[in-house]
Amino acid sequence: MIYSLVDGNKPLLAAIGLLAAFAGTCFFLTKLSAYLPKDAGREFAHDGKLSAGKPRGAGIIFVLVFAAAALIFVPFEREICIYLVLVAAEMLTGYMDDASPHPWGEYKKGLLDLIIAVVLAATFLNFNSNTIEIATLGIQVTIPPVLFGILTVVLVWGSINVTNCTDGVDGLSGTLAIISLMTIYVIDNIRGVTGSFSYLILLFVICILGYLWYNATPSRLMMGDAGSRAMGIFISIAVLKSGCPLLYLPAAAVIILDGGLGLLKVALLRFLKIHILRNVRTPLHDYVRKGKGWSNTQTVFRFAIIQIVISVAVVYLLLSRQFGGL
């Protein structure tokens, strides 16, 4: 068994694992992209028709490469294996939608997300404490298990769907996911929360980078729901394993705003007949491209810059508390 980099054992082999994950992602995307379903273009998205004909659903490739690399390079733990199964399950639900000639309805996908979120919440509570820490204040709070489970389901379901909604500009969703995951990784290391899952975060980031090699503007292929939904559930697991789930708010702030405002707008209109943001097109990446004239590259860079600034500020607060000021 090859031990992970963060365990301090076999660091060279662990580093090789990261390189192998990147090479494997690039290799299989090159060889298998021709077999992926083709995108039909999105009718209501800004410039959505430009994506018509491109391979879609590439998430099935980089997620499976990630899972294989995790099984090879991460020590066997039942909890991690269950998480890998859940990430793969979320990826498969997305891929089946990508490959379907008729897009799945919102309620069908939402119900599947809910089932997976419930299983994830039960798994997390079985292996971890229901005590969380507000990292920037150093305060620990114990939440009743049932309430903790409900909040975990909300976090997981929300993360899956807001991340999915950010997938509409070449490179945007993957770039934001990488920044969010690396923010969590850095915070984990500041707080001394290391272990197999920290290495798992690096593996997942490496596989997304392999995908972005082909998805940077102008893209050759797209991750589809298979990739965005898998990224969403993995981000939620990463922040739960950090012990500070509230860090999801700053670590994924741009993802939440870009994808979440659209979900909120639709939900309020559909269920309460309340119409907010009448003059704001959602997701926000469509608003800035059509309403503000930003190019795809400007949108990705500027959204990424905003998230990096927020992440750096949070990391600075934690470092200041950890070391008594910098």
The contacts of residue 112 (CB under 8 Å, 6+ apart) are 93
Is the pLDDT score of 92 beyond 90? yes
Find the helix or strand (DSSP H, E) in which 140 lies. strand 139-142
- State percent of the chain over pLDDT 70: 93
Sole residue written with tokens 């990488």: 178
Residue-by-residue DSSP string for 21-81: HHHHHHHHHHHHGGGSPBP---SSSTTGGGGTTSBB-THHHHHHHHHHHHHHHS---HHHH
C-alpha 289/C-alpha 68 separation (Å) is: 37
C-alpha 139/C-alpha 123 separation (Å) is: 25
User: Between vectors from CA 232 to CA 20 and to CA 86, what angle results, nearest 5°?
Assistant: 75
Helical segments of the chain, H only: 11-32, 59-73, 78-99, 106-127, 145-165, 172-190, 196-215, 224-241, 248-251, 253-272, 284-290, 296-323
Cα distances (Å, whole numbers) of residue 186 to 76, 182, 190: 24, 6, 6
What does the pLDDT read at residue 1? Answer: 36
What does the pLDDT read at residue 19? Answer: 97
Is the pLDDT score of 255 beyond 90? yes
Q: For residue 145, report the phi and psi dihedrals to the nearest 5 degrees.
A: -55, -45
User: Between vectors from CA 140 to CA 136 and to CA 146, what angle results, nearest 5°?
Assistant: 120
What does the pLDDT read at residue 325? Answer: 55
Find the helix or strand (DSSP H, E) in which 142 lies. strand 139-142
CB 268 within 8 A of CB 282: no
The contacts of residue 35 (CB under 8 Å, 6+ apart) are none
Lowest mean pLDDT among 12-16, 56-60, 252-256: 12-16
What does the pLDDT read at residue 6? Answer: 44
Q: Tens of pLDDT along 139-156?
A: 999 999 999 999 999 999
What is the DSSP code (8-state) at residue 6? G
Residue of 83, 50, 310, 44 whose CA lies nearest to 165: 44
**Predicted structure pTM score:** 0.92
